[in-house]
Amino acid sequence: MFVSFPKVIVPCAIGSCAIAYVSSYFISVRKIFGGTIPHTMQGGEWAKETNKRMNAWPREAAGPVVMNPISRQNYHKI
């Protein structure tokens, strides 16, 4: 028996993606199994402290080293 790709496989793939999205939403966002988000992640204080620590990281070697050049465009500072 021949399985038709457009009639069977594509709807199954779309359906499995939909089920995965709905499951992820209810588990992560709606927290159906309980749990809370830490208060440091809800506000911006965690990101500010992390940026402060990353920018104050002790430098070694020749010039300034960028920890994450995509989000930190301060590599030209000496």
pLDDT of residue 44: 80
CA–CA separation, 38 vs 54, rounded Å?
Answer: 21
pLDDT of residue 60: 64
The DSSP call for residue 8 is: I
pTM of the complete model beyond 0.75: no
**77: Cβ contacts below 8 Å, ≥ 6 apart:** 64
pLDDT in tens, 23-74: 999 998 888 988 887 777 777 888 888 888 877 877 665 666 666 666 656 5
